[in-house]
């Protein structure tokens, strides 16, 4: 199973260790059957947003998350699509998921088209639990 994680999932995981976003990060980190895809633009956004002063994440939290992503993630460089999106900064996540034939997990589902590979954290957890309980 392949996955691309939107920045809002990374931030939510850093904020609340018991929620679905944190569970997704742990599953990706601990399960080699789940492949995380990202690229330089996505990683740069993760780094930039985790460092926002208003979020007050310690350097240790930032480094732990970024190190985990680099450790288990696979880099892919997608071709830009021409699909219309409400927020152009979301295109890289959409295009990366398409290129990797991956699920895109986001807390901002309304920012993307209604496509079966775009899931909320709860939908992705349900999918994982159904796939790996077989």
For the domain spanning 2-132, the CATH number is: 3.40.50.1010
Convert the pLDDT of each residue in 79-127 to its tens digit.
Answer: 989 988 988 999 999 999 999 999 999 999 999 999 999 999 999 999 9
Angle between helices 59-72 and 20-30 (to 10 degrees): 50
Phi/psi at 54 (5° precision): -65, -20
Domain chopping of the chain, boundaries: 2-132
Separation between Cα atoms, residue 103 and residue 94, nearest integer Å: 9
Average of per-residue pLDDT across 29-33: 90
Residue whose pair of structure tokens reads 């970024």 in the numeric block: 66
Q: What is the DSSP letter of 111?
A: G
Tokens for 7, please give them: 């920045």
* CA–centroid distance for 16 within its chain: 16
């Amino acid at each position: 199973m392949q996955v691309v994680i939107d920045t809002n999932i990374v931030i939510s995981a850093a904020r609340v260790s018991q929620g679905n976003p944190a569970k997704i990060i742990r599953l990706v980190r601990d399960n080699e059957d789940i492949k995380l895809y990202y690229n330089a633009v996505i990683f740069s956004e993760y780094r930039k947003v985790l460092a926002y002063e208003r979020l007050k994440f310690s350097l240790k939290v930032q480094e732990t998350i970024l190190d985990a992503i680099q450790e288990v993630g696979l880099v892919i460089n997608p071709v830009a699509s021409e699909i219309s999106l409400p927020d152009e900064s979301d295109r890289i996540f959409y295009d990366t998921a398409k290129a990797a034939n991956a699920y895109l997990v986001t807390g901002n589902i309304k920012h993307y088209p209604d496509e079966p590979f775009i899931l909320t954290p709860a939908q992705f957890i349900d999918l994982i639990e159904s796939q790996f309980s077989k």
